[in-house]
Structure 1
Amino acid sequence: MPDTDSPSHGPNAASERGSRGRPDGVAPERGERGGQPGGPPDPSAIDTSRRPFVLVWEVTQACDLACDHCRADARPERHPDELTTEEGKRLLDEARSFGDGQLVVLSGGDPLARSDLLELVEYGTDRGLRMTLTPSGTNSLTPDVVADLADAGIERLALSIDGASAEAHDDFRGESGSFAQTVAAARAAQEAGVPLQINTTVCAATVDELESIRDLVADLGAVLWSVFFLVPVGRGRVLDPVSPERAEETMAWLSEVSESAPFGVKTTEAPHYRRVAIQRKRDASDAPGDDGIGRRLGITAGDGFAFVSHTGDIYPSGFLPQSAGNVRSDSLVERYRESDLFRSLRDPDALRGKCGACEFRHICGGSRSRAFAHTGDPLESDPLCAYVPDGYEGAMPSGRAGAD
């Protein structure tokens, strides 16, 4: 799913604007810029203490796949307490209250498990929301369905590819045929004129596939490659993450890829990608003068990002399942702006341990989701980060460091 955190780079990337200039880390289409009359809001003008760049609504946890990394621990059947169609429309009405051009990602599970999906897309589009979707690569995602989604107003389709071959991808996804179905859906998106994003999970089982996946992302004509560094939640708890050192090497490689790829590059749950990119540029002869990567900084859980679960719980991220309320009884806008949880996550000086002492905390801050998964405290240090601030002599992050 499109998630938080680091900026997109590359020829198609302008700031962290998302679909057609969207501020979700998804690269815009060529030639488009945010903030123009009738277009999406300029990301640089958005106050993330007042509204998120990205609002994800997990419309269902139902899915026919059994992916090894699934955050939702999805099951084939829909939950009986999912938000209803009318409750979902009320949620979209409130999302509109954040401001013009709010980006909404319909996620899952597999959103196509809901029979009212097209109705919800059309409803959000009619209210000026920028509706995007993260469907599963199953036989339900036919070219006709992709065309119907385009007609309903969907502005971005995000598909997951975790292996460059059918064997590698299908093994990770737990379903034979998933790779072929995903590639076919990507081709259908091209035919329908729907901008395509490819999501890839980085863990010990997939990291060696990244170079080949990069080539496939280009071949599919995607505008963004969103690279997710594993957080041990849901079924992902049984997977081995990469080590902090391998993560650092991978982020440096992604930064290099971003400089020449025909698509944007962003990371999810790896905000230290921003630090790595800045440090690379500082060491390079062509280093730009501003923030080291020439663009506005990214988003993190609770700061520019909000997540509503299938039953209405309000989370800073789908990977940080600590609730700040429920949309059935609480205002999403008020909870995002005023809850203690969200406010603390927007304060880099509230961070503890190594992250709290780091000079990059205002531009990185570490994955709050990973800190929560390992320690139960979203303000603790991120155990995937290899960087140690100069002079830091405190405790190192606890939790599993990862394996290659």
Structure 2
Amino acid sequence: MFRLSNLIKSTLENQKSRTLDGSIMIWNFTNRCNLLCHHCYSKADANEKDTLTFEEIEQTISKLKAGGVNFVIFSGGEPLLRKDIFDIAKVMKKYNIMTYLSTNGIYVSPKNVDQIIETFNYIGISIDGIEEIHDQFRGQKGAYKKSIEAIKLIQAHGGNAGIRFTITKETQDSFYAMFELCEELKVDKLYISHLVYSGRGKDNLEIDISKEQRKKYVEFIIDKAFEYYKNGNNIDLVTGNMEMDAIMLLNRFKKEYPDFVETLKQKLKTWGGNSAGHRLGNMDWAGNVKPDPFFPFVVGNYLETPFDEIWTSKSNEILNKLREHPRQIKGRCAQCRYIEICNGGSRSRAYAISGDLWEEDPSCYLTLEETRR
């Protein structure tokens, strides 16, 4: 996760950047979902059944803090399909764990909206394009209208919800419209995710955009972030799964704000780039623990081994190598002058294409000239 707007503001105003105190876990409590999204890493669908019991979840929550976890994103499938989702969040609060909700919004209703707002520190709703594109990409006609209604309902009850958008060939025609939508709805955040090859995202590898297109879109996102900053617009722009975006921002500062380049560079090095297996992890509905939701290997199972023992292990080779900084990555990453900033990018994408966890990220859009030491 790259907090673009926060970095611009904190650098130009000489403030501390927002940092993660502890790890953040994306916890897939269910693999049931009412939609059939083309990029879904868990291949969720409506025919799945919940396998995790509340008792198993409650027992595991008690081990999160001992493992250094302070934030949990409630994910799925569709997390609101679980009838005990608020009870789960209540246990999290007992252990002072911040809870975020990642939802398609369809099950947000007048009956539960107040409870959702009171329960979760942040609510993110997935919108993957204008109406026709969103409905086609998410596999259900009418899904767009219901998701937009959910955002408006949350706002009407005094809360706010951010929008999550994934760039693919199928959604890119709506890319610019997403900013207009956020401005119109006055949401507080737009999270723009790059595609990672996993689940149906791997099956649909052909839906990824080209490196040239990606670079063009990232330049626009940076333009917008500066525009919002200068105009006092509070929409927070965040990108995900593409640590090279940080280098694009640094290059923009070199051109337009040279006096702040060293300040930003230090912030980016402190942030450290891809943090899978360190500050970021994933727990799924079958008990598996992975360094990120897309990762091709598990590092343990919290139904068999206490979570904190898995996450704090000093003997797991994968976790040890992921936690090196900078990581020892092959290919052009080995000669990249920005390795301390991006940390090699996505290991999941590298494995999906090369079969080697430690190869270069195939989606890196920077040229050799830009990256050579």
Q: TM-score range by the shorter chain?
A: 0.7 to 0.9
Task: Give yes or no for the alignment of 1:317 onto 2:292.
Answer: yes
Task: Provide structure 2 residue ranges, at least 5 long, that are not aligned to the other structure.
Answer: 229-233
Select which of 336, 345, 353 maps to 2:322.
Answer: 345
Q: Which residue number corresponds to residue 27 of structure 2?
A: 57
Summarize deviations over 1:309-343 as a string: whole Å, max 9, x none: 11110101111131000001223233223322122
Q: Which residue number corresponds to residue 43 of structure 1?
A: 19
Query: In 2, Cα distance between the equivalents of 1:278 and 1:332?
Result: 37
What does 1:261-280 correspond to in 2, within 5 Å?
261=228, 262-280=234-252
Q: Which residue number corresponds to residue 24 of structure 1?
A: none
Summarize deviations over 1:134-180 as a string: whole Å, max 9, x none: 12232x221322212223x21111101111x2112111111111111
Select which of 167, 183, 200 maps to 1:218.
Answer: 183
Q: TM-score, normalised by structure 2?
A: 0.87
Return the letter of the residue paired with 2:94.
Answer: D
Q: Which residue number corresponds to residue 234 of structure 1?
A: 199
Task: Give yes or no for the alignment of 1:7 onto 2:26.
Answer: no
Return the letter of the residue paired with 2:318.
Answer: L
Task: Give yes or no for the alignment of 1:125 onto 2:97.
Answer: no
What does 1:298-313 correspond to in 2, within 5 Å?
298-313=273-288
Q: Which residue number corresponds to residue 371 of structure 1?
A: 350
Q: Which residue number corresponds to residue 231 of structure 2?
A: none
Shift of 1:257: 1.2
Task: Give yes or no for the alignment of 1:362 onto 2:340.
Answer: yes
Q: Which residue number corresponds to residue 92 of structure 1?
A: 61
Select which of 74, 77, 94 maps to 1:106.
Answer: 74
Give the conservation status (yes or no) of the 8 Å contact 1:217–1:225. Answer: yes
Q: Which residue number corresponds to residue 112 of structure 2?
A: 145
Give the conservation status (yes or no) of the 8 Å contact 2:196–2:294. Answer: yes
Q: Which residue number corresponds to residue 381 of structure 1?
A: 360
Query: In 2, Cα distance between the equivalents of 1:171 and 1:294?
Result: 43
> Bigger shift: 329-338 or 252-261?
329-338
Query: In 2, Cα distance between the equivalents of 1:307 and 1:242?
Result: 26
Shift of 1:273: 0.5
Query: In 2, Cα distance between the equivalents of 1:14 and 1:358?
Result: 26
Shift of 1:96: 2.3
Distance change >3 Å, CA 14–CA 77, structure 1 → 2: farther
Query: In 2, Cα distance between the equivalents of 1:78 and 1:13?
Result: 44
Task: Give yes or no for the alignment of 1:155 onto 2:121.
Answer: yes
Q: TM-score, normalised by structure 1?
A: 0.81
Give the conservation status (yes or no) of the 8 Å contact 1:359–1:389. Answer: no
Distance change >3 Å, CA 284–CA 294, structure 1 → 2: farther
Query: In 2, Cα distance between the equivalents of 1:98 and 1:392?
Result: 36
Return the letter of the residue paired with 2:340.
Answer: H
Query: In 2, Cα distance between the equivalents of 1:352 and 1:7?
Result: 27
Query: In 2, Cα distance between the equivalents of 1:269 and 1:327?
Result: 25
Give the conservation status (yes or no) of the 8 Å contact 1:11–1:260. Answer: no
Task: Give yes or no for the alignment of 1:177 onto 2:142.
Answer: yes
Return the letter of the residue paired with 2:93.
Answer: T
Give the conservation status (yes or no) of the 8 Å contact 2:67–2:311. Answer: no
> Bigger shift: 126-135 or 282-291?
282-291
Shift of 1:372: 2.0
Query: In 1, Cα distance between the equivalents of 2:337 and 2:60?
Result: 38
SS of structure 2 residue aligned to 1:288? helix
Q: Which residue number corresponds to residue 69 of structure 1?
A: 39
Query: In 1, Cα distance between the equivalents of 2:327 and 2:47?
Result: 43
Query: In 2, Cα distance between the equivalents of 1:134 and 1:224?
Result: 13
Distance change >3 Å, CA 120–CA 229, structure 1 → 2: same
Query: In 1, Cα distance between the equivalents of 2:277 and 2:311?
Result: 8
Give the conservation status (yes or no) of the 8 Å contact 1:106–1:133. Answer: yes
Superposition RMSD in Å? 2.6
Task: Provide structure 1 residue ranges, at least 5 long, that are not aligned to the other structure.
Answer: 16-31, 35-41, 394-404
Distance change >3 Å, CA 357–CA 349, structure 1 → 2: farther
Return the letter of the residue paired with 1:373.
Answer: A
SS of structure 2 residue aligned to 1:179? helix
